[in-house]
Structure 1
Amino acid sequence: MKLKKMMAVVLAGVTCAGMMAGCGPSGDDSKASGGSGEKGTMTLIMSTRDEFLSTLESAAMSSAEEAGVKLTSQDAQNDSAKQIQYIETAVNGGDEAVIVNPVDSDAAQSLVDAAGDTPLVFVNRPPSDMEVLAAKNVGFCGSNEDTSGYFQGEYLADHFKKQGKTEIKYILLQGELGQVSQIKRCAGVLKALKDNGIKATSVVDLAGKYDRAEAMNKISPVLTSGQEFDCIISNNDAMALGAIEACEAAGIDPASFPIVGIDCTKDGAAAVQAGKMAMTVYQNPLGQGKGCIEAALNLVEGKAANDGTSFTKDDSGKDYSDSIVWIPFEPVTKDNVADYL
């Protein structure tokens, strides 16, 4: 059974409990797990709370409770300075470790500096400079973005080859420009198309900022401009869903060409099942939530972050390989989407 299904009931209870928690020290929403604290206290600092990250957060709280860790979660509301403030508060409060979903991957070193000797685990978003992970008390738990877009490209290449096409035109919906995920997801899908003998030409690249409404607004005028295209490639499900809405508003059947996303959110999976989205790529928030707790506990005990992990170790041979816990991406199509609903 998929980890997603195994933890669903537990997460529902944890989420409800979290919604009843009080406010954080600066008035922002905070949540706390019901862990006993036998293995100490930790703080999870989110960049924001969207559907995906909220699921990750709940999974981390559930895993912390099972491990006997008292975990407090804070929402930095996309404010880098606030993340540093929360780290300093956690360190001064004697937390055993800090887990951070960074607002700005380029600012990773400043987060490590704020933690000092306290173990720090990056979750979901890796540092732009992975050498930051070479420090003995720093780790990362997330999914390898080199593979996410590649799965999209492999699906599209197979789709168009079956139609006898070797040249296509695409519309690209990009996430937050400059983020590691945006850069690698775009590069991955184009590399896979090229590797599989498809010449792909961009009609337009749009900055949808991972947001459904933003993507809908950006793509709407393109859809009605008369420009020809063969597919819509999106860096995440939310923007793909915005593109679907824009198509339907313009009287275009979204099932008449492939629209591909990443994350396999609840709404994204439903769109794949309905045939409106051709495929998505499951990024496992439950695995990331569980894995970051495993990594933090390892660092607290003086072990490598991925020691004894139930997920995947890094095999790149880099000097920071032992600091990485990989949660594999999984391609999702109509054939297997039932496993993810």
Structure 2
Amino acid sequence: MKKMIMGAALAVMMSTAAHAETVGVSMALFDDNFLTVLRNGMQDYAKTLDGVTLQVEDAQNDVAKQQSQIQNFIAAGVDAIIVNPVDTDATAAMSKIAADAGIALVYVNREPVNVDTLPEKQAFVASNELESGTLQTQEICNLLGGKGKAVVMMGELSNQAARMRTKDIHDVLATDACKGITIVEEQTANWSRTQGADLVTNWLSAGTEFDAVIANNDEMAIGAIQALKAAGKPMDKVVIGGIDATQDALAAMAAGDLDVTVFQNAAGQGKGSLDAALKLAKGEAVDKKVYIPFELVTPANLKDYQAKN
């Protein structure tokens, strides 16, 4: 009887070991509100899965460090790797490293430059950036009645999302309904609240007049709000729009300061990337591009999103 119990226990242990999987995760930056929600969503989901362990590293916005982390994951024998790229133009080399090692690789949130030529066992999970800036700018256009002056704050130009969201803005403002809106300033604030505040302060100091701030993310939009308030500008005279629907942004909207944001499901992207990585590690088929939809958020539907990000 004792032998049977021991045999059964050993079989369970062997079965568990056979299905235990380790996934290496390299995040571009820990010190980022949206990416923190994404990372937490991934880690919370991993806790619900038997035998799945995450090894999460902070690349600290350093491309070389991120590439080194990928190499270290491979040397450690992980089953799959998830990367939130520091620089989306540097992903071809990362793909080659993983492909040469035969390790599954999933990019999350930021679209790799080689997205259309990803090797086998690689995929991309995010939201479609054709939607983000389009939803945002169409709503700002509606609020302005199709005319006025706008300033644009861009994210890091090394990120495809910043370039795509900015293109969305220009595409919407080129339409008949919105061509009465003129962009009077357009500069990068690198996704940063502090840099966003500094940029708007500089514009105000230079006498730049504008009716709307169109920011590539919520952090920069919040920086704009801080700068406008510090300058004594009435918030009901300027339309402010961001993207991500972070908790801080939703609080700013509840306070009447932020007019538009776009919900990007950070936790959903985290879960989706882990699902894709585990499937690829097992040799299962996964779409090369897995999109989690963007959703427009305004004061009218704010309550539906306050518990989401």
Global fold match (TM > 0.5): yes
Q: Distance in 2 between matches of 1:132 and 1:82?
A: 24
Structure 1 match to 2:37? 55
Q: 2:257 aligns with which of 273, 276, 301?
A: 276
Task: Give the match for residue 328 of structure 1.
Answer: 293
Alignment map for 1:1-341 (pairs within 5 Å): 38-49=19-30, 50-68=32-50, 69-115=52-98, 116=100, 117-133=102-118, 135-161=119-145, 166-195=146-175, 197-199=177-179, 200-305=181-286, 322-341=287-306
Deviation for aligned residue 1:83: 1.2
Q: How far apart are residue 231 of structure 1 and its match?
A: 0.7
Structure 1: distance between partners of 2:97 and 2:235: 47
With over 3 angstroms needed to count, the CA separation of the structure-2 counterparts of 1:203 and 1:279, relative to structure 1, is same
- State the Cα RMSD in Å: 1.7
AA aligned opposite 1:66: T
Whichever of the two has the greater Rg, that structure is 2
CA distance in 1, matches of 2:301, 2:258: 14
TM-superposition CA deviations, 1:92-146 (whole Å, max 9, x none): 211110000011100111111221310000011110232232x111111111111
SS at match of 2:103: coil
Distance 1:79 1:280 in 2: 29
DSSP 3-state at the match of 2:273: helix
Q: Give the fraction of aligned pairs with identical amino acids, expressed as a percent.
A: 37
TM-score by length of 2: 0.88
Q: Which amino acid aligns with 2:43?
A: M
Q: Distance in 2 between matches of 1:206 and 1:36?
A: 52
> What is the SS of the residue equivalent to 1:158?
helix
Q: Is the contact made by 1:123 and 1:140 (CA closer than 8 Å) also made in structure 2? A: yes
Q: Distance in 2 between matches of 1:114 and 1:84?
A: 9
Runs of 4+ in structure 1 deviating by more than 4 angstroms, as ranges, are none
d(CA) in 2 for partners of 1:340, 1:37: 40
Number of residue pairs the alignment of both structures matches: 286
Higher RCO (C-alpha under 8 Å, 6+ residues apart): 2
**Structure 2: distance between partners of 1:39 and 1:146:** 38
User: What amino acid is the match of 1:137?
Assistant: K
**SS at structure 2 position matched to 1:295:** helix
Contact 2:140 2:260 in 1 (8 A): no
Structure 2: distance between partners of 1:274 and 1:231: 18
**In 1, distance between residues paired with 2:219 and 2:177?**
29
**CA distance, structure 1, for counterparts of residue 67 and residue 170 of structure 2:** 36
TM-score where L is the length of structure 1: 0.80
d(CA) in 1 for partners of 2:205 and 2:283?
58
Deviation (angstroms), 1:36 = 8.9
Q: Distance in 2 between matches of 1:303 and 1:196?
A: 46
Q: How many angstroms apart in 1 are the aligned matches of 2:176 and 2:223?
A: 28
Using a 3 Å threshold, how does the CA distance of structure 1 residues 196 and 39 change in structure 2: closer, same or farther? farther
Does the 8 A contact of 1:168 with 1:198 survive in 2? Answer: no
Structure 1 pair 58–36 and aligned structure 2 pair: CA distance change class (3 A): farther
Shift in Å at residue 157 of structure 1? 2.1
